[in-house]
A and B are shown apart, each in its own frame.
Chain A
Amino acid sequence: MSLLEIKDLSVTFGGLHALKDLNFHVEEGEIVGVIGPNGAGKTTFFNMISGMVTPTSGEILFEGESMIGLDPNQVTQRGISRTFQNVRLFANMTILENVMVAQHCRTNKGVWGSLFNTAAFRQEEKEIREHGEKVLGFFGTRLIGYRLEQPASVLSYANRRRLEIARAMATKPRLLLLDEPVAGMNPMESAELTDLIGKLRSEWGFTIVMIEHDMDVVRDVSDRVVVLDHGETLAQGSFDEVSSNPEVIEAYLGRPLEKRK
């Protein structure tokens, strides 16, 4: 059984078919790259998996269970977490708070615990904090130390992207959806993040679906690449197969992917 299986998924916005009869699957432990020209429907695809957009028809199965009709928080609770293409951090919360609040659905102490400051409450707070520091520590020293108590708004662009990933990691997902994780980073930064994405699988055990425009990154980490265009799957397969597919080259304005450099 695939970890995530999507069957004949469609969505329309008004008259626009953002996705048409999409079929897609992810196996446990895979890293799948999703590419496609602007407006192809990649982000919409993520929105649908994470429950932020309801599909018009089709089925989404996660670990064999249907996810249609679940609220985004229930989807996260089941173990799918995402980042946003246009970084959407809680800008006025501190960096630590950003990753602490993401563990909300993995913890349960409520009014009673916080009012009476019970031992269980303190223990849970401690664990939330420790796990938060652990995911932040994944990015070296950039997000920890004195940064912990700073508001997220002071971070540089690249660090905000890293914090987005850290926040998604903090929800303890099984499947991580990364929407253009290296956008806006310089080549050195993206090379470093490419390594880290590999580690997300090898060290943290996440299965990953990643939307990315940077072909170097896609080539370096993806086991499999899916090409979307106009809401439809254009091609699937290894990076080499896909990048030599004439239809894909056509979709990318008629230029071969490799030669653009």
Chain B
Amino acid sequence: MTATTVSNSGSANEPLSIDAVSKGAFDFDMRAALTSGLILALSLVFIALCGIPEGLNERLLIKPVLSLGYLSLLWLPLLFGWLSGNETVLEGMVATKKGARDIVRGLFVGLIGGLGLSLLTVLMDAFDLRDPLVNWSPATEEVLQFSRSIGFGVIAWPVLGAILGAFGAALHVMPEKIRKAVMAGLGTVLSFAIFATFIVDVADFLDDLLYARRGGLKWGWAIALFVIGAGASFLGGGRKISEMKSSYQAATGPAKRQQTTTLILLSLAALIIIPLITGKITQELFANIGIFLLLALGLNIVVGLAGILDLGYVAFFAVGGYTTAVLTSPNRGPDFEGFPTLPWWGALLVTIIIAGLVGLFIGAPVIRMRGDYLAIVTLGFGEIIRLLFLSDWLNGWFNGAQGITNVPPADFGFFSVKGTDPRSVFYLVLFFAAISIYVSWRLERSRLGRAWMAIREDESVAEAMGINTVNMKLMAFVVGAVLASFSGAIFAAKVGSIFPTSFLILVSVIILVVVIVGGMGNIMGIIVGSVVLIGVLGGPKQPGLLAEFSEYKLLIYGALLVVMMLKRPEGLVPNARRSRELHQDEFLQDAWLKGEVDTDDDMVDPSTGGEGTVAPA
């Protein structure tokens, strides 16, 4: 866009300010807008044909106007409208003034997107493609027609798209304060609507107050919540938080240390207190997040610190789960007849040792490989371990597909951890998560952490500098295995039964996605990643806050991963070093602007420099 507007300015001695250019409401890059509109249309049609709108239409968000099904379509024009007004402003350029032009562009993009759905509505009426496309169904058609008529649907979609697109773009035009207020208002309403189960679970009394009997916010309350959210933001609710954040970031030395300690203690206290006042659903959610957080922390040491791409990490989770189950349950394989059952914590000690040994055993042959080869071989080992647990050969130990049932609760005398009491599971997980976080944190800042870092940067040079790369990588592998076995041991006590199907390759993939999306190599990132992915979307079999989406979970995981890789490969909460690796050019440019880049201090007269002293080639 910049290019076209600047070239319009004509006169050569005018300053090169983009604002100086006069422009009408329609003076925007039609091609780009058209492309983005078509992408929007395709995305909408894709979502509709995945059956998401139809499948989630029963779930009311705001009664009677909005269901989760419709929301799954409507958020997109809003986002595209917003994106169409986004532009990167380069250093030293003046940003274009936002105005009518942007709104028209957003409207245009949204309109095209809506037309895509109109077309789909018409086509659905005219043809029957149910055979290849399962969701080419009357039910979907009904949703697309708003349960009225085909004509209504055909007109309504472009109108809705245009309005939302224009609104999305208009967010750029509003003064910042109002924009923030609107966003906060929308955010409040949608959170209350989408996370209804969770909110009711936390605060029971809100159920009858806010929500209609068969689900969905009462529309009066929806408006009220919008006003409350917007008002709070308008009166400066968010400012305090961002002020505190920047003061925390600015602090250094002992002050920062003290603040960090306070912060950690406060969050720990909150984590201990919250499950006391919430219902079972929340506690279960917390417990699941914790179990996957433990796994992600372990994998982070392997992938994030040592740079070993392990795609079979689930193997150690399985080893932890099975070892604990075999040692504690009376229902284990017949070959263990007469072997005394251990209490959970006793089994844990054995589990740690076994997991470490398995880590060594798998690691030793694998670790000498590099890059892709290593990833594929670990993938193989992940499956081999599961198949061993499933096999007839070891049936006498692990009961094959029947698995091991009746795993007793973890009993600590004063408190016992069992699946029916998710709060106890959460506390146990919290304890081990604290250990894992401490381990990751200490190791990263030690001689070992430095060696891993060097290996990640350049393995052959690290070796030439005296680092025994094989041993170091093996050590990361083993530490990772032990941390995963904690998680497996807790999982066994929580679920009470262990089957080979609990340890599919999918688990490895999801943990890896948590690590990547959260921010590889950054403990805070791993925590955020687990909360966002496992908490909101859910684990491989565990429901998250958006339980409705569990059918489309993998689709969303995939889409999220693609978007992250394109837009923010360093993750949500990046490790400073890692983003430097990924954005070397930007970083150096930045350092250059700040005057930190080194230039040679003893430059000599160029006429004498460089020539003559070098041997001929």
Contact = CB atoms under 8 A, between A and B. Distances in A.
Interface in A246-261: 252-253, 255, 257, 260-261
Interface string A83-112: 010001011110001001111111101110
B450 interface: yes
Contact of B447 (A84, A114, A154, A186): A114
A92 B603 CA distance: 26
B464 A105 contact: no
Interface string B570-610: 00000001001100100110010000111111111000111
Contacts of A111: 443, 448, 475, 479
A187 interface: yes
A71 B463 contact: yes
Contact of A114 (B442, B597, B603): B442
B460 interface: yes
Given A102-B466, A154-B588, A260-B616, 10 more contacts: A72-B463, A73-B464, A76-B465, A92-B580, A93-B453, A93-B577, A142-B601, A186-B600, A186-B604, A186-B610
A47 to B, nearest CB: 9
A73 B469 contact: yes
B580 A151 contact: yes
Given A90-B461, A153-B584, A158 B600 contact: yes
B116 to A, nearest CB: 44
B150 interface: no
A37 B603 CA distance: 28
The bracket for how many chain A residues form the interface is 35 or more
A125 B449 CA distance: 12
A254 B447 CA distance: 52
A187 B460 contact: no
B613 A190 contact: yes
Contacts of B457: 90-93
B171 to A, nearest CB: 37
B244 interface: no
Interface string A36-71: 011000000000001110000000000000000001
Task: Kindly name the residue among A35, A72, A253 whose own CB sees the greatest number of chain B CB atoms within 10 A.
Answer: A72
Given A92-B580, A97-B450, A214-B613, A189 B600 contact: yes
Interface of B: 438-439, 442-443, 445-451, 453-454, 457-458, 460-469, 475, 479, 577, 580-581, 584, 587-588, 591, 596-604, 608-610, 612-617
B604 A188 contact: yes
A92 B581 contact: yes
A171 B465 contact: yes
16 contacts: A37-B616, A73-B465, A73-B467, A76-B465, A92-B457, A104-B467, A105-B468, A111-B448, A153-B587, A154-B597, A156-B600, A186-B610, A189-B602, A190-B613, A192-B602, A252-B616
Nearest to A107: B447
A117 interface: yes
Contacts of A103: 466
Nearest to A252: B616
B188 to A, nearest CB: 41
Contacts of B479: 111
Contact of B442 (A90, A115, A155, A157): A115
Nearest to B606: A186
A105 B461 contact: no
B543 to A, nearest CB: 36
Contacts of A257: 615
Contact of A93 (B445, B454, B464, B468): B454
Contacts of B475: 110-111
B602 A101 contact: no
A238 interface: no
Contacts of B465: 73, 76, 81, 101-102, 104, 167, 171
A216 interface: yes
A213 interface: yes
A159 interface: yes
Contacts of A253: 616
